Amino acid sequence: MTRPPGLFSLLLLVGACAQRAAAPAGAIEAYAGAIERKDYAAAYGLMSSSYRQQVSLADFRKAMERDAIELTADARSLRETADRWNGRVTVAVPGDERVSLLREGGGWRLDAPPLDPYGQATPRAALRSFVRAVENHRYDVLVRLAPARFRTTITPEKLRAFWEGAGGAPERAFLRELRLNLYARIAEEGDEAFMTYGTGRQVRFVREEGLWRIESPE
């Protein structure tokens, strides 16, 4: 059975675009170039399979043609400034975190270690670190997670006594509830952040010296 020329051509375009878009930022540049050339089939081929299941090529082309003048200008601007952004990409990873990569020597390099068991780069990272530190009895980490004004009075020994002392059932119940809400919504306001969970409980965060600390877990 002979394959229809239109479909065969589209598959070739998708394959060619996939090669040009081997790197994340390359996909954006290839898409911008396709839009600028009004090669909407090539641009469509760069969209995800889930998008293409929802939007047909005909509908995609119709939407692009409707705003062609503005899209072409925006695509040209994006392509012409590619040198400024094409050397760095940010990838979302599980846990609401971002990994930054730089293009060097023809390949992609990690900008910073992506694995940090007790990270404080984001409020959520600090929250996960808090729960993990208690579970692993790393009370030195809990000291590090506290704001500066508290670190002069708390010690790993005091924290161990609090979490492991007699009558610690309420603390363990609190920790279980906190773990269940590790991915609850966190609202950031400048150098402060708040997470409300459970029956009106709240965790308050503060950023000091570029690191997020837990000011008041309830």
| CATH number, domain containing residue 165 | 3.10.450.50
The answer on 141 and 77 residing in a single domain is no
Question: From CA 156, how far away is CA 134, in angstroms rounded?
Answer: 11
Question: Which residue range forms the structural domain that includes residue 52?
Answer: 5-85
- pLDDT for 123 equals 93
At which of 35, 69, 85 does a domain end? 85
Do residues 81 and 128 share a domain?
no
pLDDT band of 149, cuts 50, 70, 90:
very high
CA 27 from chain center: how many Å?
18
Note whether 207 and 138 are same-domain residues: yes
Q: Is residue 22 very low, low, confident or very high in pLDDT (cuts 50, 70, 90)?
A: very low
Same domain as 130, residue 186: yes
Q: What is the rounded distance in angstroms from the CA atom of residue 41 to the CA atom of residue 38?
A: 9
Q: Is residue 110 part of a domain?
A: no
Considering the domain architecture, whether residues 62 and 135 belong to the same structural domain is answered as no
* Whether residues 74 and 141 fall in one domain: no
Least confident of 12-16, 114-118, 140-144: 12-16
Residue 59 lies in a domain: yes
Q: CA 159 to CA 149: how far, in whole Å?
A: 16
| Higher pLDDT pick, 101 / 9 | 101
Report how many domains make up the chain: 2
142/71 same-domain check: no
All residues at 6 or more sequence positions from 54 whose CB lies less than 8 Å from its CB, including other chains = none
What confidence tens digit (pLDDT) does each residue in 44-95 have? Answer: 998 988 899 999 999 999 999 988 898 999 888 887 876 666 677 777 776 6
Residue 142 in any domain: the answer is yes
> CA 61: distance to chain centroid?
30
107 within a domain of the structure (yes/no)? no
Is the overall model pTM greater than 0.85, yes or no? no
